[in-house]
């Protein structure tokens, strides 16, 4: 399967796959790319989030997702910790993060890796991303569904299980707060919404919204 670009505009390669150098394995395990204006990173194909991690290690803020054709795709050095929880189903072109400079990185760029396996492991089953990604296919054709939460305040949960059990709420979504539905899992609606200056996400059970 040939994937779309993780970018929403033209990008260019700065470090090649398997370039030899001062990396843990002695070579570069992915491809580095940069772009000029739109720093949004999107999913290259449909899949499910399998790993997210905050800053602190060499990959910085990163996300891994398993594609529908059983590959693992990693984006490293993102600006923020990924918002989508593990298990979230994602669609081609859906926003996963923003290019950043976290972890072992000098200058904002995307480090992308593709592995030929369902579970990500460092340096395992590496594939050349250039064999799978069509970098010229960067059109933005993903649209999030608008969400209408009417006049009630909705409790927000971190997991589908909590949402179904109505336990361990992590916050509330007020009627005036704008939200977008990025996925529906087991009857629970995964929303992103703005609260003051930050963007949050979580599940709500309200079934009349989308």
Which residues bind to Zn ion, rule: CB under 5 A?
Answer: 32, 111
Q: Are strands 95-98 and 145-147 parallel, antiparallel or unpaired?
A: unpaired
**Torsion angle, alpha carbons of 121, 125, 127, 129, to 10:** -10
* Closer CB to Zn ion, 8 or 111, in the complex: 111
Least distance from Zn ion to the Cβ atom of residue 112, Å: 8
Least distance from Zn ion to the Cβ atom of residue 12, Å: 14
* Closer CB to Zn ion, 112 or 201, in the complex: 112
What is the DSSP code (8-state) at residue 27?
A: B
Largest CA distance in the chain: 58
Least distance from Zn ion to the Cβ atom of residue 35, Å: 15
* Closer CB to Zn ion, 32 or 83, in the complex: 32
* Closer CB to Zn ion, 105 or 169, in the complex: 105
Least distance from Zn ion to the Cβ atom of residue 56, Å: 17
Rounded Cα distance, 121 and 140, in Å: 30
Rounded Cα distance, 196 and 201, in Å: 13
């Amino acid at each position: 399967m040939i994937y779309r670009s993780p970018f929403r505009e033209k990008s260019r390669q700065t470090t090649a796959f398997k370039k030899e150098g001062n990396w843990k394995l002695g070579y570069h395990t992915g491809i580095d790319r940069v772009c000029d204006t739109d720093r949004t990173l999107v999913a290259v194909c449909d899949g499910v989030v399998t790993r997210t991690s905050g800053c602190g290690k060499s990959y910085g803020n990163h996300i891994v997702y398993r594609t529908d054709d059983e590959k693992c795709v990693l984006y490293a050095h993102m600006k923020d910790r990924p918002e989508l929880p593990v298990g979230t189903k994602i669609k081609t072109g859906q926003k996963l993060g923003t290019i950043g400079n976290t972890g072992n990185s000098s200058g904002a760029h995307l480090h992308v890796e593709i592995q030929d396996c369902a579970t990500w492991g460092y340096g395992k089953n590496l594939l050349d991303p250039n064999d799978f990604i069509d970098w010229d296919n960067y059109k933005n054709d993903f649209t999030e569904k608008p969400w209408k939460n009417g006049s009630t305040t909705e409790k927000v949960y971190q997991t589908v299980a909590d949402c179904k059990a109505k336990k361990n709420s992590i916050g509330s979504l007020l009627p005036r707060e704008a939200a977008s539905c990025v996925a529906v899992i087991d009857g629970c609606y995964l929303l992103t919404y703005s609260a003051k200056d930050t963007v949050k996400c979580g599940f709500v059970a309200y079934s009349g919204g989308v």
